[in-house]
Amino acid sequence: MLTLIGCGTFSADEGGPATSDASTGGPDGAASDADADAGATSNNDGGGTETGASDPLCNGAPNCKRVVFATSEKYNGNLGGRSGANQTCQTLAGASPLPRIKGRQFLAYLSVVNDVVGANLTKGGGPYVRADGMQIASDWADLFTSGLTVPIALDEKGASVPVGELAWTGTTSSGTLSGDYCAGWLDATSPQGRGMVGDVNDALFWTNRATSTCGELRHLYCFEY
């Protein structure tokens, strides 16, 4: 079940096993229940043609072009903590067929208590691009200013993530801890456990579309370090 951010109310039980599934700014106060597809909008504009193979690796450097993708697989809220999620991002990147992604270091876009997402990731001063090279933000601050230029929308293989799909974030529209983070991303069973999720195909609510029960299966966002 989802609790949408600033939307109307209705509820839906989405079900699904609590395991990995290889298928497939607005206000941050959660107020109502809604289906995973509610309010989702698509803005996958296509774009870049260059492969990105010639772009230098960032490896923590502040001013470089950073790549962002959504995972092709989905996971419940027990991600093995943020370190487990980081490893998931790196494993998928290592198997990517895309020169823009393969061989680079990636970390999960997740906030935990006392350690918000910006403490895990490099706050880059250069552009952020998705798997096809389309720019989503001009720098770190721009990610949280007035929505992305285009949605993240693509996975590590360059494939489009279906409209309505969500990604775990634990992060508000301003880049701070949301208060819903599945017990440090270690919980998939507590009936009261919830995690903030973003809409993979929405440029505005990409990090804070709703809160979701931790047993649901969601994507991750992976950012180049």
For residue 173, give the 3-state DSSP assignment. coil
Classify residue 93: in a domain, yes or no: yes
Classify residue 177: in a domain, yes or no: yes
Burial of 70 (0-12, 13-18, 19+ CB in 10 A): buried
Full residue range of the structural domain in which residue 109 is found? 58-225
Enter the tokens of residue 80: 């093995």
CATH code of the domain containing 104:
3.10.100.10
Classify residue 41: in a domain, yes or no: no
Q: How many CA atoms lie within 13 A of 119 on its CB side?
A: 11
Helix (H) or strand (E) holding 194: strand 194-199
For residue 89, give the 3-state DSSP assignment. helix
- Quote the distance between the C-alpha of residue 194 and its chain's center: 16
Classify residue 158: in a domain, yes or no: yes
R_g over Cα of the chain: 16
Number of structural domains the chain divides into: 1
> pLDDT tens string for the chain (225 positions)?
666 665 433 233 333 333 344 333 333 333 333 333 333 333 444 444 456 777 899 999 999 999 999 999 999 999 999 999 999 999 999 999 999 999 999 999 999 988 889 888 999 999 999 999 999 999 999 999 989 999 999 999 999 999 999 999 999 999 999 999 999 999 999 888 999 999 999 999 999 999 999 999 999 999 999
- Which amino acid, one-letter code, is at 71? T
Enter the tokens of residue 176: 């701070």
